[in-house]
Chain A
Amino acid sequence: MKKHSLKARRGLGLLATAALVLTAAGCAPAAEDITETATDTGDGTTTQAEVVLEFAQWWEPELPDGSFRALMDEFESQNPGIKVELLSGPYSTTKEQLFAGAASGTMADVVGLDGAWVNDFAKTGSLADMTKLMEATSYDQGQLASQIQIQGSTYMIPIVNFVYPLYTNDDLLASAGVTSPPTNRTEFRAAAKAVSGAGVHGWALPLSLEAPNGIQNDVMSWVWASGGSMLKDGQPDVTNSDVSDAVEFIKNIWDDGSIAPGSFTMKEQDKLEEFTNGRAAMIVSSLSHINVIRDSNPELNFSVSAMPAVDGYTGKRGIPYASWGIGVAENSEHKAEAWKLISFLMSESTNAKLSSIANAFPGNTTASPDFVQGDELFGEAFEIYQSGFPANEFVGLPVAEQLMRLFDEQFQLYLDDDISLNDMLKVAQESWVDKF
């Protein structure tokens, strides 16, 4: 008994000491850190007044180690007196973090944005009107490939764009007697059916409700590729024949049994693994995946091509894309400096560099990323990009992500045969109209 309680007391003492030491040790440096960020000039010698720009984004962790910071260093050396502090977080919760920042007025000066949220952030009044910033500096807006405007004011500028071509596993297709990637819907369905069997499926279709962007990249892309639209005069129009044909087309492939299992919880990252492992012969996927696939399965023989269109379609094809967009916080005290950073990132040479490290296409029309010259697949993709037009009707819509989710829910019911095509589109249309 005595020995035990002695032991017990030692355990307690240990804990208590740990508590004291840790709280003492833990609090002191933290307090220092705060003051440091406010006054530290980086090299610790100069004391001149200096602007520290906070730049919240999810890009730094996505890019090769140190490469994004290197661009910031370049900016700092060109703009003495401005420092950039990169606040990097994971993509999946970036939106929540931005909202918390917007609600409490602590949003970073410059923020990374996704086209699916920009409308809602603009509505809260937490984003600055960049049209004014551009006018104030007489910025040449012609060099910007696109600007996301809400009621005539620019709130987001896409810095780089990830296009979504069709990836095909050429060995799988060849073994099923398909010699070249499908160019129209009939060929696509036939190819998907031909390769399916023995653990292989023709197509992987991610329809997760957590990240419902499959509706944008893998479903609506069929509509856009054939020149169709899901909107009419900026209002929802998902009951039109463009959308209804595309949805029915996908349902046919589903009924053929050519779609990889697990669709309803599949995300973009899972789709990639299905393709890399040779279980899905075709996917619609981000250009940036070319290098990921090459790294993890060097033997995979694949190519990229334009999204198949409806049979006989000869017009320009819309190519779905996702952007890394950038905006300025309304509560920023350094909007002019923030704009300097953005114009630096959009400048021809920086934009080309950023595009190259991100394997994306530049947001500056004159920038030419070097990776498209030296690489066959990227070169191919660039050609597809230039012969078509970037299409993503969800960008800039209100509650865009929720629109995708609402459509997704009905689409899942339709694929499960619980609802007819017309009812599905009608319900989706009504729920969308509700949000506009």
Chain B
Amino acid sequence: MQALTPYGFVAPVTVLILILTFIPIAIVIGYSTLDNVIMTPESKFVGLSNYFTILTDGTFYVAARNSFVFTVGSVGAHFVLGITFASLLNSRLLPGFVKTIFRAIFILPWLFTVAIIAILWRMLLNPNGVINYFLVSSGVVDVGVEWLSSRGTALLAVTFINIWAGYPFFMVTLLAGLQGISRDLYEAASIDGAKPWQQFRHITLPQLRPIIISMVILDMIWTSQQFALIWLTTGGGPFDATEMLPTYTYKLAFSNYEFGLASASAVIILLLSMVLAFFYIRHQKARD
């Protein structure tokens, strides 16, 4: 009876995931071995040839590279901003209502649907937009920079937008995590003469470690799948400057109507992400 208890606890999620994600994923894996799937009623089994096509396509590697830069840049900045803001908001030096106001301001980017975030930043970063206006009138640049539409800056610009849109997730989670750290630890450390930075390194970070690792892995998975933001700001361009795995996959599916190839690409992304998931499990194991 006691041995069954944990299964009772995990039963709801297991059922839900089995039905609602296993079946569609299995279908996608099936699609990935078919030719002309969806487009014709009788599609042929082609084995791994779709995978071969994807893996020999130069654009796939460009997309993978851009995805990597975008993901690492976003997650790194999410973490730095998240922990900085969370620590500042957790400061004992400020009265409660001040912190409340700042907390509200800091989660603002989280409140909007991605289509609006894309539109808003297209407006802000427009060659005639407000950001260029500030840069030009303060003499930093002579003419407005085409942030999103020049190949040199587009990847940077979409990464920046994604950083803005995503850091509150880290911040809120870490803020919750900070509440779990006992004040006694800090008090003992400060009696020992530890400076704030040392306290941060030797108490805060180790205490938050499990949360940070989980979040970094999750955020990497999510960021590497960010589609709408990129699609709605640059469409993967100019040329291939912001082409990423999800936009690449999307174009295969809904622009080329090669659903078999798109599925193969999706399965490859799934496998790549599973590598990340393995790291997470390994880390869990190490903890046990």
Give chain A's interface residues, CB within 8 Å of chain B. Answer: 95-96, 99, 102-103, 120, 123-125, 199, 208-212, 260-266, 270, 279, 399, 401-402, 405, 408-409, 412-413, 416, 435
* Interface: B171 (CB within 8 A): no
Smallest CB gap from A434: residue in B: B256
List of B residues within 8 angstroms of A266 by Cβ: 149
The CA of A270 and the CA of B118, in the complex, are separated in Å by 13
Q: State whether B238 touches A120 (Cβ < 8 A).
A: no
Contact of B148 with A by CB under 8 A:
yes
A90 nearest CB neighbor, chain B only = B115
Q: Is B232 an interface residue (CB 8 A)?
A: yes
Residue from B41, B150, B231, B251 within 8 A of A402 (CB atoms): B251
Q: Are A208 and B38 in contact (CB under 8 A)?
A: no
Across chains A and B, the number of contacting residue pairs, with CB separation under 8 Å, is 86
**B236 contacts chain A at the CB level, 8 A cutoff:** yes
B127 and A211 contact, CB distance less than 8 A: no
Provide the residues of chain A in CB contact with B102, threshold 8 Å.
Answer: none
Chain A residues with Cβ below 8 Å from B148 are 262, 264-265
Taking a contact as CB atoms under 8 Å apart, the answer to whether B234 and A279 are in contact is no
Q: Which of A124, A264, A409 contacts B38 (CB 8 A)?
A: A124
Select which of B149, B239, B257 is within 8 A of A262 by beta carbon.
Answer: B149
The answer to whether A279 touches B235, judged by C-beta atoms less than 8 angstroms apart, is: no
Residues of B within 8 A of A (CB-CB), count: 31
Q: Which chain A residues border B127 with CB–CB below 8 Å?
A: 260-262
Q: Specify which chain B residues have a CB less than 8 angstroms from the CB of A413 in the assembled complex.
A: 239
**Is chain A's binding surface mostly helix, strand, loop or mixed?**
helix
Of A102, A124, A212, A261, which is in contact with the most chain B CB atoms at under 10 Å from its CB? A261
* Bound CA–CA A211/B27 (angstroms): 29
Within 8 Å CB of A416, what residues of B? 151, 238-239
Q: Are A265 and B122 in contact (CB under 8 A)?
A: yes
Chain B residues with CB below 8 A from A265, complex form:
122, 148-149, 154, 233-235, 237-238
Q: Quick check: A96 and B254 within 8 Å, CB to CB?
A: yes
Query: For residue A279, which residues in chain B have a CB less than 8 angstroms away from its CB?
Result: 128
Q: Which of A209, A261, A270, A402 contacts B235 (CB 8 A)?
A: A209
Q: Could you say which of B39, B144, B238 contacts A261, with CB atoms under 8 Å apart?
A: B144
Question: Which residues of B, 210-234, contact A by the 8 Å Cβ criterion?
Answer: 231-234
B14 at the interface (CB under 8 A from A): no
A-B contacts besides A264-B148, A408-B237, 4 pairs, CB < 8 Å: A95-B254, A208-B235, A264-B238, A399-B257
A409 and B239 contacting across the interface, CB-CB below 8 Å: yes
A99 to B239, CA, bound (A): 27
Contacts of A262 in B (CB 8 A): 126-128, 146, 148-149
In the bound complex, what is the Cα–Cα distance between A401 and B39 (angstroms)?
16
Check if B255 is an interface residue, CB within 8 A of chain A.
yes
Q: Which of B147-196 contact A (CB under 8 A)?
A: 148-151, 154
Q: Are the CB atoms of B256 and A210 closer together than 8 Å?
A: no
Residues of B within 8 A of A211 (CB): 235
The chain B residue with its CB closest to the CB of A124 is B39
- In the complex, A199→B137 CA distance in Å? 14
Q: Hey, which chain A residues are within 8 Å of B255, CB to CB?
A: 399, 401-402, 405
> Whose C-beta in chain A lies nearest to the C-beta of B235?
A210
Q: Please name all residues of chain A whose beta carbon is closer than 8 Å to the beta carbon of B38 when the two chains form the complex.
A: 99, 102-103, 124
Taking A125-B41, A405-B251 as contacts, is the C-beta distance between A120 and B257 under 8 angstroms? yes
Determine how close the nearest CB of chain B comes to the CB of A172; give it in whole angstroms: 16
> What 7 A-B pairs come out closest when comparing CB atoms?
A210-B235, A209-B235, A264-B149, A209-B237, A264-B238, A261-B127, A265-B149
Tell me whether B40 and A210 are in contact (CB under 8 A). no
- In the assembled complex, the CB of B4 is this many whole angstroms from the nearest CB of chain A, namely 25
Bound form: Cα–Cα A435–B252 in Å: 12
CB of B237 within 8 A of CB of A123, answer no
Nearest-Cβ distance from residue B7 to partner chain A, whole angstroms: 23
In B26-70, the 8 Å CB interface with A consists of: 38-41
Nearest-neighbour CB distance to chain A for B28, whole angstroms, equals 12
**Residue of A with least CB distance to B127:** A261
Which chain B residues in 225-267 approach chain A with CB under 8 Å? 231-240, 251, 254-257
Instruction: Report if A412-B235 is in contact (Cβ < 8 Å); known contacts: A124-B38, A265-B122, A401-B255.
Output: no
Contacts of B256 on A, CB cut-off 8 Å? 399, 402, 435
Which residue of chain B has its CB nearest to the CB of A399? Answer: B256
- The complex places the Cα of A99 from the Cα of B250 at a distance, in Å, of 13
**Bound Cα distance A103, B28 (Å):** 13
A409 to chain B, nearest CB (A): 5
Taking CB atoms, residues of chain A closer than 8 Å to B126 are 262, 270
CA A95 – CA B256 in complex, angstroms?
12
Most chain B CB inside 10 Å of its own CB: which residue of A102, A120, A124, A209 = A209
Distance between A211 CB and nearest chain B CB, rounded to angstroms: 7
Cα separation A265 to B39 with both chains bound (whole Å): 30
Distance, CA A181 to CA B8, complexed state (A): 76
Q: How far is the CA of A96 from the CA of B240 in the complex (A)?
A: 23
With both chains docked as a complex, state the minimum distance between the C-beta of B109 and any C-beta of chain A, in angstroms.
21
**20 A-B residue pairs with CB within 8 Å:** A95-B254, A96-B254, A99-B254, A102-B38, A120-B39, A124-B40, A199-B128, A209-B236, A210-B232, A261-B128, A261-B144, A261-B146, A262-B127, A262-B148, A265-B238, A270-B126, A402-B256, A408-B237, A412-B237, A416-B238
